[in-house]
């Protein structure tokens, strides 16, 4: 069979055919230098070393290595035949990595989720779908987790529940969402959902993600104002949503540790069922109820939950609500009884006032075994009584690290500012940050407080460094001891 020779490109001279080699002489690819010789030498003269990158596919002519062609074929047909990754040991790790590097970024989610663990693939897939910036810090520092969480959030937010649909009625969209929830639970740990009121099927959300969901932030905002949200357009959580969430907290939230419900127009009536759900929940340690409409009745309901021995809430944010003196007094008793609370924010509740503010500060002081680390009582209407209580707290408490008492105009007036500064500069080496801006403190007292807290922070850093060095030394000693035993 005679093979036809390809004509050279236009303007290209034909390369003379090399004469047959004499007996005993090695055959040559090209006997005389021609216009293609440099390209041929570049592409075909030497095989690639194991560590060399594959050559670029440009120039003329180009012959792709067989291994490279096989990798591409496997990647292109991965949906039909995923054995290259599904069956461990079928191919070596380097070959598998090359296949994953050229896999299409639009593989079916079920297939990619089950078989592809490579972070580079999920980064490529995420960056091809969403606009930057994309950060993995809030997603377990994992691109795969980021992808599944963002994908699940969008699916939940895009779903519009049918008002008249019951569990028995057919609803393909609902069923598809539940399947996605159940499949994604292995990689989705944290969700931040912004949706219209009543649109999130909380029962399905918690049932399908039971045993995996760790953090949930819910914000009920109308779809058409999400991008231009200014805080005034919120529609808020409905009472039915609050009851559904409470039931979910009781039955399907054993792994949930953070619950964020900020900016949801939660009032005392809606907080009551939520508090009932929290009372039986043994997992939520961080609760954000800031920027709502919680008043004194709601604060008292929440205080009863916090005072229980079984309560595990350690971080509580009640900032920017409508809590008054009686609510703050109830919370003060709960603070005194709580052994788990490490962070409390009551900021921007000016109705608390001086007397109730002093009660909160005294509660922290009097709870001898308190674990409180951070306290925010900024803009709470604190005055002279609170100043004396704060000075007592600073003299006696050795656990508080950060205090925000800013925005209380008369807190540091007169001799109160000096008394508080004296308490900070005395034997208290624990406070690392103390904000008293806008609270009537003199410049000298502010300077003393600032210098002392900076000294405390530097000393804390030195102690941390010493502890790290001690831990490292202990590990080295243990290794040396084990080596000595092995040699003996």
For residue range 134-164, list pLDDT tens digits in order: 999 999 999 999 999 999 999 998 886 655 4
Statement: residue 237 has pLDDT above 50: yes
Query: Which residue spans of the chain are classified as CATH 3.80.10.10?
Result: 198-479
Q: Which of 223-237, 356-370, 410-424, 426-440 has the lowest mean pLDDT?
A: 223-237
For residue 356, name the pLDDT band (cuts at 50, 70, 90).
very high
pTM of the predicted model over 0.85:
no
Mean pLDDT of 356-373: 87
Mean pLDDT of 389-414: 94
Report whether 126 contacts 153 (CB < 8 A): no
pLDDT of residue 51: 54
For residue 465, name the pLDDT band (cuts at 50, 70, 90).
confident
What CATH superfamily classification does 198-479 receive?
Answer: Ribonuclease Inhibitor (3.80.10.10)
Q: Which of 94-108, 186-200, 309-323 has the lowest mean pLDDT?
A: 186-200
pLDDT digits (tens, 9 = 90+) for 15-67: 444 444 444 444 444 444 444 444 444 444 444 455 556 556 665 556 677 88
pLDDT of residue 477: 55
pLDDT of residue 1: 36
pLDDT of residue 368: 60
pLDDT of residue 197: 64
Statement: residue 384 has pLDDT above 50: yes
Q: How far is CA 321 from each of CA 114, 262, 425, rounded to the nearest angstrom?
A: 45, 10, 33
For residue 224, name the pLDDT band (cuts at 50, 70, 90).
low
pLDDT of residue 30: 40
Mean pLDDT of 317-332: 98
Chain-wide mean pLDDT for the chain?
A: 84
pLDDT of residue 44: 44
| Closest of 224, 167, 234, 148 to residue 197, by C-alpha | 234
Q: Which of 111-125, 155-169, 170-184, 347-361 has the lowest mean pLDDT?
A: 155-169
Q: Percentage of the chain with pLDDT > 70?
A: 77
pLDDT digits (tens, 9 = 90+) for 240-267: 999 999 999 999 999 999 999 999 999 9
Q: Percentage of the chain with pLDDT > 90?
A: 61
For residue 172, name the pLDDT band (cuts at 50, 70, 90).
confident
| Closest of 98, 147, 99, 102 to residue 122, by C-alpha | 147
Residue carrying structure tokens 């594959």: 54
pLDDT of residue 320: 98
pLDDT of residue 463: 87
pLDDT of residue 71: 87
Which H, E and C letters describe the chain, residue by residue?
CCCCCCCCCCCCCCCCCCCCCCCCCCCCCCCCCCCCHHHHHHHHCCCCCCCCCCCCCCCCCCCCCHHHHHHHHHHHCCCCCCHHHHCCCCCCHHHHHHHHHCCCCCCCHHHHHHHCCCHHHHHHHHHHHCCCCCCCHHHCCCHHHHHHHHHHHHHHHHCCCCCCCCCCCCCHHHHHHHHHHHHHCCCCCEEEEEECCCCCCHHHHHHHCCCCCCEEEEEEECHHHCCCCCCCCECCCCHHHHHHHHHHHHHCCCCCCEEECCCCCCCHHHHHHHHHHHHCCCCCCEEECCCCCCCHHHHHHHHHHHCCCCCCCCEEECCCCCCCHHHHHHHHHHHHHCCCCCEEECCCCCCCHHHHHHHHHHHHHHCCCCCCCEEECCCCCCCHHHHHHHHHHHHHCCCCCEEECCCCCCCCCCCHHHHHHHHHHCCCCCCCEEECCCCCCCHHHHHHHHHHHHHHHHHHHHHHHHHHHHHHHHHHHHHHHHHHHHHC
């Amino acid at each position: 069979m005679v093979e036809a020779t390809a004509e050279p490109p236009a303007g290209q001279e034909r390369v003379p055919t090399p004469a047959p080699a004499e007996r005993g002489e090695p055959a040559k690819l090209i006997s005389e230098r021609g216009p293609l010789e440099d390209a041929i030498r570049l592409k075909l003269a030497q095989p690639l070393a194991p560590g060399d990158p594959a050559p670029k596919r440009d120039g003329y002519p180009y012959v792709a290595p067989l291994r490279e062609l096989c990798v591409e074929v496997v990647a292109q047909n991965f949906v039909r035949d995923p054995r290259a990754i599904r069956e461990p040991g079928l191919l070596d790790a380097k070959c598998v990595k090359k296949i994953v590097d050229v896999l299409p970024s639009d593989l079916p989610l079920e297939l990619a989720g089950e078989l592809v663990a490579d972070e580079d693939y999920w980064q490529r897939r995420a960056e091809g779908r969403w606009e930057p910036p994309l950060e993995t810090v809030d997603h377990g520092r994992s691109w795969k987790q980021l992808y599944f969480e963002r994908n699940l959030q969008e699916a939940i937010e895009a779903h519009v529940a049918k008002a008249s649909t019951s569990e028995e009625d057919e609803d393909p969209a609902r069923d598809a969402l539940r399947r996605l929830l159940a499949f994604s639970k292995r990689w989705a740990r944290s969700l931040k959902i912004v949706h219209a009121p009543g649109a999130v099927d909380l029962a399905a959300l918690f049932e399908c993600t039971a045993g995996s969901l760790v953090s949930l932030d819910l914000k009920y905002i109308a779809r058409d104002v999400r991008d231009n949200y200014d805080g005034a357009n919120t529609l808020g959580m409905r009472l039915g949503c609050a009851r559904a969430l409470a039931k979910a907290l009781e039955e399907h939230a054993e792994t949930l540790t953070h619950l964020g419900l900020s900016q949801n127009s939660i009032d005392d009536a809606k907080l009551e069922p939520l508090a009932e759900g929290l009372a039986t929940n043994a997992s939520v340690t961080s609760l954000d109820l800031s920027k709502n409409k919680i008043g004194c009745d709601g604060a008292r309901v929440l205080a009863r939950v916090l005072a229980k021995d079984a309560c595990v809430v350690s971080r509580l944010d009640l900032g920017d609500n409508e809590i008054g003196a009686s609510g703050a007094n109830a919370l003060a008793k709960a603070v005194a009884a709580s052994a788990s609370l490490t962070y409390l924010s009551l900021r921007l509740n000016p109705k608390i006032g001086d007397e109730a503010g002093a009660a909160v500060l005294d509660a922290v002081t009097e709870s001898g075994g308190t674990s409180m680390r951070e306290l925010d009582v900024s803009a709470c209407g604190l005055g002279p009584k609170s100043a004396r209580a704060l000075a007592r707290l600073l003299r006696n408490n050795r656990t508080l690290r950060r205090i925000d008492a800013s925005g209380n105009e008369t807190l540091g007036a007169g001799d109160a500012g000096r008394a508080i500064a004296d308490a900070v500069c005395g034997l208290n080496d624990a406070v690392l940050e103390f904000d008293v801006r806008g609270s009537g403190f003199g410049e000298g007292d502010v300077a003393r407080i600032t210098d002392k807290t900076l000294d405390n922070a530097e000393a804390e850093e030195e102690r941390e460094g010493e502890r790290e060095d001690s831990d490292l030394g202990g590990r080295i000693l243990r290794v040396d001891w084990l080596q000595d035993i092995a040699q003996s």
